[in-house]
Amino acid sequence: MIVEVVSIFPELVGLLDVSLLGKARGSGLLEVRAHDLRDFTHDRHRTVDDTPYGGGAGMVMRPEPWGEALDAVLADGPAPLVVFLTPAGERFDQAMARRFAAEERLVFCCGRYEGIDQRVIEHTAARARVLEVSLGDFVLNGGEVAALAMIEATARLLPGVIGNPESLTEESHESGLLEYPAYTKPAEWRGLEVPPVLRSGDHGAVARWRAAQSLERTRRVRPDLLPPEA
């Protein structure tokens, strides 16, 4: 998979090398390319923003550097899905990560300030598949951290990136429920015991206990995830 990131902080993309995704990049499963939006400006100050039409606080990212950056990125390589990061977008989730993981090429456009001139999104949508996506219902200073989170969630779904693919099917959000609690050795730590059923060797009992814990945890912490009849 090819992932491209357009940002005024392209060096942030280097963070991906630190986690297990560094290995995926090394092995050729994932190629991440960062582009500096300021390389597509032509003034001495490399200006990327200006005041909003209609007034109001903050600055808006100008369309010209974005247009040139996207011209360059779209001109070469397989047809991508272009993702604009914005708190005003559709909310990212595990299903969207799976959808991203099926793409050959993803282009993440990281806005800063009060966002990107809307004509950039409109213009791009006329030549490529475009989504406006939010990491969650909170506001970041820019799309970079959101893009990194989405890239990590997506890349770990690529075949070969995670050593044991079974760990992908058991985890929170894959089944629609939160994951059951996990324990490792020692069996007793600071007076706290690992639930005996997990040490019983009874695989059926373990599976039933985990299913019940998943349901109880989801009911308690995230009742919004439960189907209406549960």
Question: Which residues bind to ligand ADE, rule: CB under 6 A?
Answer: 85-87, 134-136, 138-140, 142-143, 146
Minimal distance in Å, beta carbon 1 to ligand ADE? 20
d(CA 49, CA 66): 11
- Nearer to ligand ADE among residue 7 and residue 214 (C-beta): 7
Minimal distance in Å, beta carbon 143 to ligand ADE? 4
C-alpha separations of 129 from 54, 107, 155, 204 in Å: 29, 10, 20, 46
One-letter identity of residue 191 = G
- Nearer to ligand ADE among residue 155 and residue 177 (C-beta): 155
Minimal distance in Å, beta carbon 85 to ligand ADE? 4
Structure tokens at 138: 């909170």
Minimal distance in Å, beta carbon 116 to ligand ADE? 10
d(CA 202, CA 225): 29
- Nearer to ligand ADE among residue 53 and residue 138 (C-beta): 138
- Nearer to ligand ADE among residue 32 and residue 116 (C-beta): 116
Please name which of 98, 78, 87, 79 lies closest in space to residue 132, comparing C-alpha atoms: 87
- Nearer to ligand ADE among residue 18 and residue 139 (C-beta): 139
Phi (first) and psi of residue 187, to 5 degrees: -65, -30
Minimal distance in Å, beta carbon 208 to ligand ADE? 38
